[in-house]
Structure 1
Amino acid sequence: MKRFQTKVAVITGGSRGIGRAIAEQFAREGAAIVLNYLRNEEAARETEKILKGHGARVLTVQANVGNPKEAESLIEAAGREFGKIHILVHNAALGAFKPVEKLRVNQWDLSLDVNAKALLVLTQTALPFLEKDGGSVIALSSLGSKRYIPNSQAAPRPDESENRKTWQRSSPFSPAKRPAGFTARPSRPTAAFL
């Protein structure tokens, strides 16, 4: 039996790049995949085809996870389709790489909505499923959380906030309190081996 044969993974921003690579790895290991994308339906359908080629069951959901109602709907669709969620990977990201003096407030807000607020809403909505079977929340961040990247101070991804929030969210799940196997941790893709 494959390692994730009975598991369901929800992956935001899963239609391209690192999200696609993560989805493919889970599919190879037998997981059912809930594949989220924002706009690029062609890339989403291509990824869905690749995942099904690995034998995975796939639910593809278009949703702007920066919108709390759409983030909730994504998790609810996963629950309706599969009845369980074991892994939540928040990979979707949005930001503006520009000097801080050129950054508009709405760009900062959009970045926070997708990169930070979505993680909170997705986790809260998925928590009943994750607690039931001992699940995992994985929040991807970038190298920008650890070192200076020119023009990144203008909010490409509020990584330090995201890393801190992920660890804080895991605190109620101390080993004495959490369901077996539940974890919540940030992950920098530069350190990921897929």
Structure 2
Amino acid sequence: MKINTARQVWHDCTHNQSRGGLSGLTERTLLGTAVQTTDRGNTADHAEHAVLCGWFQSAIAKLHPQVRVFGDFMYAANQSDDIREAAEEVLFGLVMSKSKRMTAAKREKAEYVAKGVMRRYRYMHQGGQSANPDPMSKPETFRAWLFDYYGVRLESCAWARDWEPFIQLCFECCEDIDRMALSPIAAVIYEMKAAA
């Protein structure tokens, strides 16, 4: 396991490495059966990987469940709708606790806006380097995506007043939860590098 960033480590420690299903596909097509071979090296790389994963998985397990589910949505190798929905609930709850009062109709739309912002944030930070540009930085693009994906129509008039501050708050909340999720991982990385 290469230890580059906390985001990359989160992904790698939740990924189960195994011989892929395609590794013996050629052999099976030629012979009509699978033949056991001893092509593994005589190294302890897999054991080293498991030990390192244990350190990071322990740090992840100690996180608050709401923070952990957000981190799993962002970086875990195994994804599911349950993880996504739980992370969306966490973000929306935090955003609503910090936002101004709003009408019931706007609150209903705000939930989908928060979901969209969370997906934008995830795309921007995938890969561990946070180098991807925001794919929906233009309001027109974001509004079109919300309509296509969720069927939610946001009006363009008074966008700066009605939605820009809310979207900015959603991004700030994503950053706060992300920071809480990654800081214990970064601390373990720091300890490992200091001891080396």
TM over 0.5: no
- TM-score, normalised to structure 1, is 0.26
Choose between structure 1 and 2: higher helix proportion. Answer: 2
More RCO (CA 8 Å, sep 6+): 2
Higher strand share: 1
TM-score normalised to the size of structure 2? Answer: 0.26
Structure with the greater alpha carbon radius of gyration:
2
